[in-house]
Amino acid sequence: MIGRRTLAAALSALVLVLSVALAEAADKKVIRLWQTETEPQTLAVLNQMAAEYEKTHPDVSVKIEGLAWGDLEKKLTAALAAGAPPDAAHGQPITCVSFAAKGLLRPVDDLADSIPKDNLVDAFRHLCQWNGKTYGVGHSPASSVFVYRKDLLAQKGLKVPRTWDELVQVAEALKEVRDGQVVRWGLTMTGQPLFINIAVGELLKTNGGRLFDAEGRPTLTEKPMLELLDFYKKLGRVLPPGWTGHSYLDTFANLANDKAAMLYQAYGRGVGYIEKYAAKEIADPDHFAVADKVVGPLGRTPAAQLDCEPWMVFKDAKGAPEAVDFLKFFFQDENYVPYLHSVPIHLLSIKKSTSRNPRYADNAMIRKWRPWVDMQEKYFRNDWIKPVLVTDWEDMKKPYLLEVMGSGILVDMVLDAVKGVPSAEAAARAQKRVEELLASSGYLKK
Amino acid sequence: MLWILPALVLITSLILYPVAYAIWLSLFDKHSFFPAERWVGLGNYARIAGDAEFWDSLWKGVVYAGASTGLQLVLGLAAALVLHQAFRGRTAIRALVLFPYMIPTIVAVIVWRWLLNETYGVVDDVLLRLRLVREPVVWLGVDHMMASLIVVSVWQFTPFVVVSLLARLQTIPLELGEAARVDGASAWARFRHVTLPQLRAVLFVVVLLRSIWMFTKFDTVWLWGEGAGAGREIRTLPIYAYMRTFTYYQAGFGAALAVIMFLMLMAATLVYFRLFWGEEDAA
């Protein structure tokens, strides 16, 4: 039986400990970072990184929150509207430029200089620049990749498609029907709005097209875009009929589970799905191979989307200097390499020196899936890679790409074409809507 | 006066202030997170009048609300009549009927999306095995997305109708039905002339509430279409208002859409009361 004196002493001690803890917490500056890598192993690495930083900075508490990629802009918008943004966050490159243009961000030239700038992969050194200042430093670049079942193509004596038309022909040839049912589709693509926006940018670039002219007016009725919409109509023959309802992860599942032979918009993290769900004897890059993106009739070079969210720091954030300091810590190799290794084929290094670091290359997945890494690095070197809705780096100077992406007008245009609306009519409708959006937002004169 | 002060504070802060602020915001051209704003008066409303997307969303909302409310009423009434009868296991069945209404919307949507997936879903698998269809039905594609949303919504919200009507059925004096039976009235005649008049008052409220709630429904519709290009097929007015505010970043325009929805529902409610409340009084 516990005596009253013992109980009182225990309670007093508990109150004392709690008070000290609360007092300490109250003295600590809390910095909040939002980021889009939500895999459990990545979050574990980031939390470990935060704990290590706090050991040497006992007056700072680092809180890192993982957000789904598709939710990022909405959550940031709501936080900004409420006057409570985090101290630092990932953002799409176009989000970063949009925020910088609106005066919401703190320049991070000091962060870039600590790396230093010429150590950043050339293509992404100026990922988020506005009026000559750097407002974002990419956390890790990745490229969308075209993945195909090498064994199935070989079985049917098919060559890897290089053009839009060849893609449709090969997909048609790879479709497998049994007892009147399609058991494997030749191609899978996602109907998720964000990824349709991405695909429009990629495909348009591979067809020599552009989204905006030099004055910033949309150019949706030009020939490359009309051909793109016609291409989507042809794709409807070879894609699963429910593709407009397939999420990004559904397409990985389709590929890994042998429901589809090719995936146009894959990413390095898809390797995880293949390793987990594909038959063990084929879960390797000899079966799930990568090839160059297909080129349109008016294009000459392939193009892919850059997946590289810059770290942005908000100008009015109370913890802005501490957030920048933590990000310098983040990019140090002893922290950066474990971060990249958490999703090794997707999280590639934005630092040239880290790519050459033997500790970075010493990873079983990187060794096994080397062709996937090499393909992405090839697109970085050749500058065949741009952020979503950017067909030319000059587009990054346009502060309204975020609004165009969020409006879903380009997605509606593609869906119109897929549903049977003539391409010219679908494009004209979208052109009018984008013009109205930009004019009403003050970006364009009517 | 002091006694009603807490209620007044709550009503003002949670209802009156947000409505007044939305009306005020609708008179401005305001970016959703950039502080600058510009007075446009009724400019947003004029733009809405000429906005094809608005009329399309309005139509989709009417279709969704009308179809789902109608089906909820028919199925709910039928279920309530059945559950009003005495039979073995009635208590357990009554509890089961409530189940869809009790589970969180996100859970319901995730489960139904899996059931209706044309590649992996159980529904298409059963339909194919029974040879009711020759190829999988794409429930979440452009052709059937509205229909599948209506099915899920009816599944989720019919229990509300069942409970409301069942509660009233249980208070109808048994003698009324007995007297009609003794007079030789058929089951349909008893339902039409005895049961239905007794249910009129409850039906009046249920129809009103379900219609308003389905027209303004956001969570089920958003989650059903979220992440799908085909989500455009179910872009009802609440969804469009959300998009204009949080993805087009036009808070003033989004507020104007919300005000228009509010005014439309007010007008519809007034007309409804005028048409049917008089009958209630007469009854």
**Complex confidence, ipTM:** 0.85
Residues of B within 8 A of A437 (CB-CB) are 248
Q: Is the pLDDT of residue A24 over 60?
A: no
Structure tokens at A245: 């309802």
Phi and psi dihedrals of A310, rounded to 5? -75, 145
pLDDT in tens, A304-357: 999 999 999 999 999 999 999 999 999 999 999 999 999 999 999 999 999 999
CA distance B227 to chain A (A): 5
* pLDDT attached to residue A181: 85
* pLDDT attached to residue A21: 60
Q: DSSP character for A350?
A: S
Flag whether residue A418 sits within 8 Å of chain B, measured between CB atoms: yes
* pLDDT attached to residue A132: 92
> Which is more confident, A238 or A73?
A238
Which of B33, B117, B119 lies nearest to residue A80, judging by beta carbons? B33
CB contact under 8 A, A407 and B251: no
Domain B51-282 has what CATH class?
Answer: mainly alpha
Cα dihedral A236, A242, A248, A253 sign: negative
CB contact under 8 A, B248 and A407: yes
What is the Rg, in whole angstroms, of the alpha carbon atoms belonging to chain A? Answer: 24
CA distance A104 to chain B (A): 8
CB contact under 8 A, A247 and B227: yes
The H-or-E segment that residue B135 falls in is: none
CA distance A338 to chain B (A): 31
Flag whether residue A414 sits within 8 Å of chain B, measured between CB atoms: yes
Flag whether residue A245 sits within 8 Å of chain B, measured between CB atoms: yes
The letter for the amino acid at B158 is: T
Q: What is the chain A residue with the closest CA to B141?
A: A242
CB contact under 8 A, B118 and A241: yes
- Map out the domains of chain B as residue ranges: 51-282
For residues B141 and A418, the answer to whether their CB atoms sit within 8 Å is no
- From the first residue on, what is the mean pLDDT of each consecutive set of 10 residues in chain B (283 residues)? 85 90 95 84 96 96 98 97 92 92 95 91 94 91 94 97 95 88 88 91 96 97 83 94 91 96 96 81 51
Residue B175 CB coordination number (10 Å): 9
The letter for the amino acid at A31 is: I
Comparing C-alpha atoms, which of A317, A364, A352, A357 is closest to residue A334?
A357
pLDDT in tens, A184-222: 999 999 999 999 999 999 999 999 999 999 889 999 999
CB contact under 8 A, B249 and A440: no
Residues of B within 8 A of A402 (CB-CB) are 249
Comparing C-alpha atoms, which of A197, A207, A225, A218 is closest to residue A387?
A197
Kindly state the average pLDDT of the residues A268-275: 93
CB contact under 8 A, B228 and A403: no
CB contact under 8 A, B246 and A406: yes
CB contact under 8 A, A244 and B32: no
Round to whole Å and give the CA distance between A148 and B127: 32
**Partner residues linked to A185 by β-bridges:** A260
* pLDDT attached to residue A20: 58
pLDDT in tens, A141-200: 999 999 999 999 999 999 999 999 999 999 999 999 998 889 999 999 999 999 999 999
The percentage of residues in chain A with a pLDDT greater than 70, rounded to a whole number, is 97
CB contact under 8 A, A441 and B231: no
* pLDDT attached to residue B212: 97
Round to whole Å and give the CA distance between A152 and A371: 18
For residues B142 and A415, the answer to whether their CB atoms sit within 8 Å is yes
Flag whether residue A407 sits within 8 Å of chain B, measured between CB atoms: yes
CA angle in degrees (0–180, nearest 5) for A253-A259-A264: 70
Flag whether residue A66 sits within 8 Å of chain B, measured between CB atoms: no
Specify the pairing of strand A385-386 against strand A304-307: parallel
Q: Is the pLDDT of residue A23 over 60?
A: no
Best to test chain A binding among B109, B125, B243, B249 (most A CBs inside 10 Å): B249
Q: What is the chain B residue with the closest CA to A85?
A: B33
CA distance B143 to chain A (A): 9
For residues A98 and A402, the answer to whether their CB atoms sit within 8 Å is yes
Comparing C-alpha atoms, which of A142, A137, A146, A77 is closest to residue A111?
A137
Which of B47, B118, B228 lies nearest to residue A192, judging by beta carbons? B228
Interface A–B counts its CB contacts (< 8 A) at 102
CB contact under 8 A, B229 and A402: no
CB contact under 8 A, A242 and B119: yes
SS3 state of residue A349: coil
pTM above 0.80, yes or no: yes
Which of A78, A242, A418 lies nearest to residue B118, judging by beta carbons? A242
Q: DSSP character for A123?
A: G
CB contact under 8 A, A244 and B142: yes
Helix B52-84 vs helix B196-215: crossing angle, to nearest 10: 150
Average pLDDT of the residues of chain A: 92
Count of CA atoms in the C-beta half-sphere (13 A) of A355: 18
Flag whether residue A192 sits within 8 Å of chain B, measured between CB atoms: yes
CA distance A76 to chain B (A): 9
For residues A195 and A215, the answer to whether their CB atoms sit within 8 Å is no
Residues of B within 8 A of A435 (CB-CB) are none
Q: Is the pLDDT of residue A434 over 60?
A: yes
Placement of tokens 């979050």 in the chain: A43
Round to whole Å and give the CA distance between A50 and A273: 28
Q: Is A75 exposed, middle or buried (0-12, 13-18, 19+ CB in 10 A)?
A: middle
**Partner residues linked to A129 by β-bridges:** A134
Round to whole Å and give the CA distance between A64 and A86: 10
Q: What is the chain A residue with the closest CA to B226?
A: A192
- Beta-sheet strands, E only, within A261-399: 262-266, 288-291, 304-307, 310-313, 385-386
* pLDDT attached to residue B96: 93
CB contact under 8 A, B119 and A254: yes
Q: What is the chain A residue with the closest CA to B232?
A: A412
Which of A78, A192, A241 lies nearest to residue B141, judging by beta carbons? A241
Comparing C-alpha atoms, which of A92, A86, A104, A109 is closest to residue A34?
A86
Phi and psi dihedrals of B123, rounded to 5? -60, -50
Q: What is the chain B residue with the closest CA to A99?
A: B34
Residues of B within 8 A of A192 (CB-CB) are 227-229
CA distance B229 to chain A (A): 5
Q: End-to-end CA distance of chain B, in Å?
A: 37
Task: Catalogue all structural domains in chain A, each as residue range(s) with its CATH number.
Answer: 13-141+309-368 (3.40.190.10), 143-305+391-440 (3.40.190.10)
Cα dihedral B137, B141, B145, B149 sign: positive
SS3 state of residue A229: helix
Round to whole Å and give the CA distance between A423 and A420: 8
